[in-house]
A = this chain, B = another copy of it.
């Protein structure tokens, strides 16, 4: 299994607090030591860092914890390999281009006997069940819409597609195209919204407290989605099994 972290924000946001706590789970406070990755959208542009080392010891992860890249949509992953060897090609997040946008996907869970019919042009590079599921999602989205549809239309299509994968096992995932963050839970996923009035937060996995009131403006708003809560003194909401939530500008859409 693995752990997921996603941020969707109203304004470009520095994720180093959440990412630092999250990295400890990549071989430090938890056993997800088979690689890690993080993707930052900047407008339509994308930075993707992937590394087969453990996040707790990776020099690149250490660098990024101290070099704050601001982004409105961020997806990170620490991996505990189940299907697919430990290698760069199997390291999440995965990315593909569709309709002139980058798409980023990370998955937590196992899919059993999942062999999707990939008849179109999205093919896995690696050997993980996760990348197969992502390629199938991209293929079916491409068949469903001729060009980039609205976030609402995409969400309707995803609600039709996702159960066709999650019947094969655990399919907690994060997906973003830089405009929105889609988060789906079959077993475990939590979120919170940080907004005005901002308060203090203390990491669970490392001795670090910040007062977000000192760092944010009233118009800032951040949705944080994570497998298990990152902080000990904030109110996290658990997803329901089967729930797909789409976040835009730091807010879950109804």
Contact = CB atoms under 8 A, between A and B. Distances in A.
Interface of A: 42-52, 59-60, 63, 67, 87-91, 96-102, 120-126, 142
Given A42-B89, A43-B88, 4 more contacts: A44-B89, A45-B88, A47-B50, A49-B49
B125 A47 contact: no
Contact of A125 (B45, B48, B123, B125): B45
A91 B51 CA distance: 21
12 contacts: A45-B52, A45-B89, A48-B48, A59-B67, A60-B63, A60-B67, A97-B122, A100-B123, A100-B124, A100-B125, A101-B125, A102-B125
B100 A46 contact: no
At the interface, is chain A mostly helix, strand, loop or mixed? Answer: mixed
A48 B124 CA distance: 18
Contacts of A123: 97, 99-100
Nearest to A67: B59
A49 B64 CA distance: 13
A48 B42 CA distance: 15
Contacts of A88: 42-43, 45-47
Identify the interface centre among A60, A96, A97: most chain B CB within 10 Å of its CB: A97
Contacts of A51: 47
B126 A45 contact: yes
A222 B59 CA distance: 26
Contacts of A120: 121
Contacts of A124: 100
A193 to B, nearest CB: 27
Nearest to A142: B121
Contacts of A102: 125
A45 B121 contact: no
Contacts of A126: 44-45
Contacts of A87: 42-43, 45
Q: Top 9 nearest A-B pairs by Cβ distance?
A: A45-B88, A45-B89, A100-B123, A42-B88, A44-B89, A121-B121, A44-B125, A63-B63, A100-B125
A52 B40 CA distance: 13
A130 B122 CA distance: 22
A61 to B, nearest CB: 12
A51 B49 CA distance: 12
A49 B91 CA distance: 16
Contacts of A46: 88-89, 125
